[in-house]
Amino acid sequence: MRPGKAPVSCVPCAKRKVRCDKQRPCCHCKRRPQDSCVYPVAAPENATHESLSLARRITELDRQIRNLGGDPDKNPQRTEAPPEQGLGNETDIGLEYNSSLEATETDDTYIEGPMWFSWQGIDDAEESIPTAYASGDSPLSSTTTTNYVSTILDPISLSNHSPTDGLAMTKDLIQVLWRTFLRNVHPFLKIFFAWEIEPLIQKARQDPITMLNTERALVTGILFMAATSLPEDELHAMTDEDRTALIDRLQRTLEHALHSIRYATTRSRLAIQAFILYITGIMDRADPAAVHSLLGIADRIAERMGLHHDGDKLGLTPLRSEERRRIWWQLKYMGIRNASRVGNFSATLSAKWDTKMPANLEDDDITAEMTSLPSERTNLTETSHALWSYCVLKHFRHEVHEPSVKRSILWILSQPTDIQEKQKVIDEMDHMLRSKFLQYCEPLDPLHINLQFSILQYLVALQRAIMQPAPVKVKITDLPNAKRDRFMRICVKNLDYCNKFSTRPELRGFLWHNGWYFPWVAFIYILLEAYYRFDQEDFSALWGLIDDTYKARPELSTTFHRGDIAFAARVTLATWKKRQVYLQKKHEETQPDVPGWMLVLSDTFEAPATHQPVARGEQEMARGVNDIFDAELFDVDMDGSTPDWLSWDNTFENFGFRA
């Protein structure tokens, strides 16, 4: 709260973004006895920044102690925790390590991990849309008020779609999209054997009316994923239909087909394969919470089919056993990838299941007549691009279940663990991935290049995880410069790998898959360092990396409805504003060139024009922005993925700041 200003709401109401009646207690806190209706203390006009910061910290500590059932006014005798409960026992750190129940006006949300998106409900979505798009004239293709695409969970009009709408294209286009799927998608989504699906593709080309509903759903899913993987220019060379319109038509037709086969109650392997293709195709465009629910449905279907038990134990043929393994492990991988986006940890690692990992074999190595699988290949196969992720998953399952280890999935982030012990585990992972995969990569094969970037980026992210300051709960500015520099170098490498993923021409067909991951911690940390060290020449080069990132990821400049992107935009604009002030002061007549993406960013988030000369009053405002980054609620929370965007956003509002 700024000096001289009276509180506008109590702390719990400010956190939930609800209107407070400013009573003591307020009407909302009366209904929630677990909350303490505490109001921030208004600071005097002449209060210094240091005294404000200390007052906020004391108020926050007081509130947290009362929420835990304690009384800060009492001074109980200090007692030592028994050894089995001490912080030094890292094996006791479980899922509750970072869990909390966040309450809003209308519902509660359980959070046990870092979030990519604010946990505020979609009821607030209209308020977060800039006025330029409030009328519905959105720059994004959307069918929902939140600007995520709608899903099969939303009400749809089945009468507007025919089961064969998705196949209403030329024979040649179906064949081209099938070949595109095999090249761009199949290596990462190994859930069937290509030679088994080929006859269905030819049937769809010749006479789609005679196809079974499950066959039609699977082929439509393949065409949907193929179209999703293609950039605009490549798809335009194949068909005159607009890319967005084609993808939307295929998605709606696939939803119609899934409804027609009763996808939620099916036990058909073709149906669950089509459902996985559907979830994969919308994963980066739909609300992560909806995707999380859809993956839960897919898991239950798979369990009803017994996919969590290995086919060998059920007396199945090698072909069907291997197919079931591919489906099950892909579902587990997708569950983990999406869980962190909604603030949860997937139960995949801790759950008991015995399905073996798929074999490192090409599709053609396995036939229906086989009585046993051939020996696995030692070199890379198309399956390797999915297998390396499964190997990581298997490793961490071993960490959780092996009696001699019994480590939590949060062990790598735990404060008490010696960093050398963590480094040893990472070195073991590094050795495993290099010996099984990296040593066989060929320098000119696009799939091998993609595999190499994927693994190296993952290893760098692990290094970043053990170095980030979250477990010790310190502010960036309190860390020694040597530690900050070392951590920043890791973040720079992490972000640089990600940018190369997005800009290498030979990897364009894999963007649908590579785009699932973005190193938010690295990106935000680099932005904050650029902010704090705006006057150090050695750090001016960071703007080159930030520039590359926004150019490689255009959605960072335009996707206003996502909490993570909106927050990053505010930090970027604030950092750029501070740099402008410094450069204008240093070079009176020279203004820094404003990148095109910065102008788009300003327009999208309705920020002041960044290309205008900075007035004297704005210089004072820019210097005042430092209060935001030093505020108690704005401590950088690098707990494994990203900060709590809602808390950070509240801080901006409480300070009356608009980037």
CB 440 within 8 A of CB 392: no
Highest mean pLDDT among 274-283, 546-555, 610-619: 274-283
Report the C-alpha gap between 98 and 113 in whole angstroms.
6
Taking each helix axis as running N to C, give the angle between helix 563-586 and helix 520-532, from 0 to 180 degrees, rounded to the nearest 10.
20
Alpha helices in 437-541 (DSSP H): 446-467, 481-503, 511-514, 520-532
- What's the N-to-C CA distance of the chain in angstroms? 18
pLDDT for the residue numbered 339? 83
Residue 144 pLDDT > 70, yes or no?
no
What tokens appear for 99 in the block? 């869990």
Give 12's pLDDT tier (boundaries 50, 70, 90).
confident
Q: What is the CA radius of gyration of the chain?
A: 27
The per-residue DSSP string of 126-176 comes to HHHS-GGGTTS--SS--SSTTSSBP-TTS---GGG--TTGGG-S-HHHHHH
Lowest mean pLDDT among 429-433, 473-477, 532-536, 561-565: 473-477
pLDDT band with cut points at 50, 70 and 90 for residue 538? confident
Integer CA distances (angstroms), 419 to 155, 234, 387, in order? 50, 47, 28
Task: Give the tens place of pLDDT for each residue, 351-371.
Answer: 889 999 999 999 999 999 999
- The answer to whether the CB of 270 falls within 8 A of the CB of 215 is yes
Partnered with residue 349 across adjacent β-strands are none
Q: Taking 70 as the threshold, does the pLDDT of residue 462 lie above it?
A: yes
Kindly give the interhelix angle for 520-532 and 481-503, rounded to the nearest 10 degrees: 130
In this prediction the pTM is 0.74
pLDDT band at residue 72, thresholds of 50, 70 and 90? low
Average per-residue pLDDT in the chain? 76
Q: Is the pLDDT of residue 111 over 60?
A: no
Q: Give 534: exposed, middle or buried? Use CB within 10 Å, 0-12, 13-18, 19+.
A: buried
pLDDT of residue 75: 53
For residue range 381-402, list pLDDT tens digits in order: 999 999 999 999 998 887 776 6
Asked whether 397 and 336 are in contact (CB, 8 A), the reply is no
Whats the size of the chain, residue-wise? 659
What per-residue confidence (pLDDT) applies to 98?
47
Between 148-152, 228-232, 300-304, 622-626, the lowest mean confidence (pLDDT) is in 622-626
Judged against a pLDDT cut of 60, whether residue 99 lies above it is answered with no
Give me the residue label for tokens 């909106």.
566
Residue 74: pLDDT band (50, 70, 90) is low
What is the C-alpha separation between 144 and 132, in angstroms, rounded?
17
Q: Please tell me the distance from the alpha carbon of residue 322 to that of residue 277, in angstroms, as a whole number.
A: 18
